[in-house]
Every structure is written in structure tokens, then in C-alpha cells.
Amino acid sequence: MKTKIATFLTLASLSGFSAELPSDPKDISTAATALSVSSQFKTPKEEAIQKEGYLYVRFLTSDTDITHTNVVTPGLGVGYRYMLGNGAMDISISANGMHSFTKTFWTLPKASYLYYLTPDKKESFYAGGGIAWGGVHNRNDKAFIGLIPSATVGYEFILNAASLGFTELTVSQPAVPVYISGKSMGPIAEISVGAGF
């Protein structure tokens, strides 16, 4: 009896007494079951907060050899960031260049793992590493195509939402060539700002 009274009071408070409540105890039980089932469905806001991943675009600048050239080049990248608990798997492609492509750096594709320092917050610093298939050409006598490992630190300022925004610094080092011309390459520094949905 106490259970039926509690169920009746719950239904009354939820409806604000604006609708006629069922008088039959069986009807009250049925209504309570329907209410319980409907509460299990997620609202659109909850779905947005729990997105599995984000397709993003990022704008970047890089120096194709920070030990020698000291010339930055603009570029563009696209990718997908798949959220994994305290971190994310990031798959992307990017390219930049200037001066009729005498200075270029491209990756196709690049795979990285990023670890979030405060994954439950709306904003978080992150760090990670990855590897890419890519190429660098920074002077007429220096070119590289092969595997390029990288390390990344960044700051994601719209975390756990329907969209994301981030800024990051990545340092890459051409390491395993399938083609190389000229002297060995120094590290490549890249700063980027991105937005995803």
C-alpha cells in the first residue's frame, strides 16, 4: 500500500496536477512503468555531451627545419579525434608550403594517441605521441619521404560538448626514409588551432 501511495504522489508531482490522474491502482502502476522506461532515454543534450568522436579542421604553421631555415609556412589539416576514456585516438592528414612549394611538409596519414590530464572537465591540457607517413622539402638540396614520429602537447578548451576547439604544438622528426636527398633533416615545429564537430 505504501508503494502505491508513493507512486501516486510521484506521478502527481510530475504532472503538476494539470492532468487527470488515474484512479485505478493498476493504471497507476502502468503509468509508473511507462515513466521509468521513458527516463532511460537520453536527451539530445546528453547525447551531445557523450559524442564518440569529432571531425575537425585545423589551421597550422610550421618551420620545416627549426635548426636551419627559421621560415614558417602556413597550412591546413583535417582529421578525426575518437574519444577513449581518458584519451583520444587522432587520425589526420595535413600539408603546408610556400614559395612555389620549395618549402613543404605533409603527412598522409598521421596517427597519434593523446592523453587528457583532466578528462572530466570542460577544458584540459593533453600530451601524446604519434607517427606519420610524410614528406619534407625545405631547400633545393634537402628532401625526405618516409616515417615521421612526433610528440604533441595541447590544450582543448571545449571538451565534453557537441563541438571541440583546441590549440597544440607538435614537434616531428623525420626518422626512417624511403627517399632522402641532401643532409639529414632537423626537427619540425608545428603550431595549430582547430575546431571540430
- The domain that holds 123 is classified in CATH as 2.40.160.20
CA distance linking residue 180 with residue 136, whole number of Å: 9
- In this structure, the answer to whether residues 93 and 12 fall within a common structural domain is no
Go through 23-58 and write b for each residue having 16 or more CB atoms within 10 A of its CB, e for each that does not. eeeeebeebbeeeeeeeeeeeeeeeeeebebbebeb
- The chain-wide mean pLDDT, for the chain, equals 79
Domain count for the chain, please give it.
2
Q: What is the pTM of this model?
A: 0.70
- In this structure, the answer to whether residues 37 and 53 fall within a common structural domain is no
Confidence of residue 80 (pLDDT cuts 50, 70, 90): very high
Higher pLDDT, 173 or 51: 173
pLDDT of residue 78 exceeding 70, the answer is: yes
- In this structure, the answer to whether residues 37 and 113 fall within a common structural domain is no
- In this structure, the answer to whether residues 51 and 136 fall within a common structural domain is yes
Residue range 32-64, pLDDT digits in tens: 555 454 445 444 444 445 589 999 999 999 876
- In this structure, the answer to whether residues 26 and 62 fall within a common structural domain is no
- In this structure, the answer to whether residues 69 and 122 fall within a common structural domain is yes
Q: Phi first, then psi: what are they for 104, rounded to 5°?
A: -140, 155
Higher pLDDT, 19 or 29: 29
Residue range 120-162, pLDDT digits in tens: 888 999 999 999 999 988 766 688 999 999 999 999 987 677 8
- In this structure, the answer to whether residues 25 and 112 fall within a common structural domain is no
Q: Which domain holds residue 6?
A: 2-41
- In this structure, the answer to whether residues 164 and 111 fall within a common structural domain is yes
- In this structure, the answer to whether residues 111 and 167 fall within a common structural domain is yes
- In this structure, the answer to whether residues 79 and 153 fall within a common structural domain is yes
- In this structure, the answer to whether residues 95 and 189 fall within a common structural domain is yes
